[in-house]
Structure 1
């Protein structure tokens, strides 16, 4: 097969899954040269984006963090992926995934200087620990991608620290890591004040628990969060956005007609969306933003009827939603929490065979196969 025309071989390789391609690099020098060529890596990524539908399901069970790939449309799960590089028994947060690269972070409340951030390509098995920032790794870490540079590996990691001072004053210290530079840079006191003011009375270890900040979504050049907090005994939610090109935060309100209670941010059919809980009806409403950044463009798609003891995780597709459901067996605080798939059309649940320790440590993150390397020799500026 080494005598095949290069364009024919390339078309064949573009149809092969990433893990076999990694093994193919050992066949001969010409295959290795083709598979590691930046042009082929970019073409493979573009094909993966078009064919996408994988997700990463991250959850904690028996006090261990686990990650599995969900294959669509059959809704099958892979075996647990090897994340032992994080540390034996180390629990972690799946910050986000972009272009097939996943960002993980650990947060040691008692010894925050031991907290770490990793980049990982599950398709190739490569992983890389980031250099320690000058600030400690906080419980507010974001991961995104600067598409304006033209490089598929121009990843950015944002690390936010909040320092509270006397008289309820505060300052934020924000650092941004650039993968192609392989270094951190400080960008100053730029975090939105509305959140830091709300959290000023909390202890260090409770700053930005996931129940307040929520999980992130990557949309184009933006990292998006939907935190929930209380102002004058009223629940308030905002859309918090970090622009990885300009290195700035922005905050956007939700429309008044949207339920004010807690929201779960997602991507749905390429648009930013939220699953909003309507506390007055105990229904969940699915909304999406037709025009990114325009508050008036939020549109309600459908309502999910009254469901008990369920919390949204994310979309399997436009007509199916993953929920966590606590089974009631008379021992409310010790009953198991299971991942279930809710069909919007039939209004039926399907058990997914996954049991989790907690609600807020479970994440469903869009993922694609990629051959992007995390080797330091492949990300120098050029």
Structure 2
């Protein structure tokens, strides 16, 4: 006795039900569920499902770019990517996960540019002996699926450059931006869309970020840096910087154009130390000290609306138990701030929900790391 074939409408409805259920499953099990049958593999691999799943994925993970020291004379120091939950990292950042599936080794010449939609952009940097020129290639990684893209075309630049990585929804493309300052102080940008064949030059970039470690902050289809307007030379004296020299430059990945975002109106004097930008979720943050006695955090409640800047907190160094600090990262929708204290290996976590302070001495083997907001995904660019 043969079973009747399924009606096409019934089969389509069943496929939609399966897709709906699978879209709520976390990314890691889905990589195994693809092996269940051909139809599940087809559903999970479909671009529509990948985007639906990404939209529904919990945003509760971070990616650490950390230095792994050589343990023996025969070994070499190396960089690693480490996946961690926010909760476990805050609980004990000096003990990052050691499981092999959560740690991915990188070359010594690699530098993580940023993370977006589960993809990590990595720059491979080779310096030229006896001069300030370097060659850079960029590639994309998906640490969960093991996907690695082709390298970008080589970009030859001077050593005064900073990076940014983000997603252009209008063209469904991922872009990396390199901001470059030459010896005369002129600032330009180079833009590459992954899958393309060449770089695009953007002249007359209006500002240069403070530090090579200040990767562009991705939000709302833009990359954002805090920098100095019209810098001259390789060095600057922060004591001589004025408020009108300080600006946030926002680069639109759709139009490849830039504009200025005004600082909060409540900032009426230059901070004692260089401020920093941060992003969590869909909010932009500006973090700085006040008279070297307080830590202040501003939040832009509606990105792009300069009138929506709101002072989120102002807390004394005394309450934090530090004499000086460096803002480093933001968690939980602007509720938890990670700050580096005066001691080299001390991290300070401040939770504004209960006004609590947690100080942790980071072990020497984790003396250097950068944290990125991260979400596990199945994304694989075309």
Query: Do they fold alike, i.e. is TM over 0.5?
Result: yes
Judge conservation of contact 2:189–2:205 (CA < 8 Å) in 1.
Answer: yes
Distance 1:190 1:156 in 2: 19
Listed one character per residue, the Cα deviations across residues 51-88 of structure 1 (whole Å, up to 9, x for unaligned) are 3121222233535323322314454654374433x42x
Instruction: Tell me the equivalent position of 2:204.
Output: 190
Residues 10-49 of structure 1: pairs in structure 2 closer than 5 A: 10-48=19-57
Q: CA deviation at 1:365?
A: 1.6
Q: CA deviation at 1:293?
A: 3.3
Instruction: Tell me the equivalent position of 1:107.
Output: 125
Instruction: Tell me the equivalent position of 2:64.
Output: 57
Q: CA deviation at 1:109?
A: 4.0
Distance 2:276 2:186 in 1: 28
Q: CA deviation at 1:30?
A: 1.9
Instruction: Give the paired residue count.
Output: 335
For normalisation by structure 1, the TM-score amounts to: 0.76
SS in 2 for 1:33: helix
Q: CA deviation at 1:309?
A: 4.3
Q: CA deviation at 1:210?
A: 2.8
Judge conservation of contact 1:18–1:124 (CA < 8 Å) in 2.
Answer: no
Judge conservation of contact 1:274–1:286 (CA < 8 Å) in 2.
Answer: yes
Residues 309-324 of structure 1: pairs in structure 2 closer than 5 A: 309-317=324-332, 318-324=334-340
Q: CA deviation at 1:170?
A: 5.1
SS in 2 for 1:373: coil
Distance 1:137 1:251 in 2: 25
Distance 1:340 1:187 in 2: 40
Listed one character per residue, the Cα deviations across residues 185-224 of structure 1 (whole Å, up to 9, x for unaligned) are 32342321x549xxxxxxxxxxx6436xx33211111101
| RMSD of aligned Cα (Å) | 3.1
- The yes-or-no answer on 1:119 pairing with 2:140 is yes
Instruction: Tell me the equivalent position of 2:212.
Output: 210
SS in 2 for 1:20: helix
Change (3 A) 1:137 1:22: farther
Of 145, 159, 163, the match for 2:182: 163
Instruction: Tell me the equivalent position of 1:92.
Output: 110
Unaligned runs of 5+ in 1: 197-207, 328-335
Listed one character per residue, the Cα deviations across residues 234-278 of structure 1 (whole Å, up to 9, x for unaligned) are 355321211111112223342453252322211245211111111
- Which 10-residue stretch deviates more, 90-99 or 349-358? 349-358
Larger radius of gyration: 2
For normalisation by structure 2, the TM-score amounts to: 0.76
- The yes-or-no answer on 1:267 pairing with 2:266 is no
Judge conservation of contact 1:56–1:364 (CA < 8 Å) in 2.
Answer: yes
Change (3 A) 1:132 1:27: same
Distance 1:110 1:324 in 2: 33
Instruction: Tell me the equivalent position of 2:84.
Output: 70
Judge conservation of contact 1:93–1:104 (CA < 8 Å) in 2.
Answer: yes
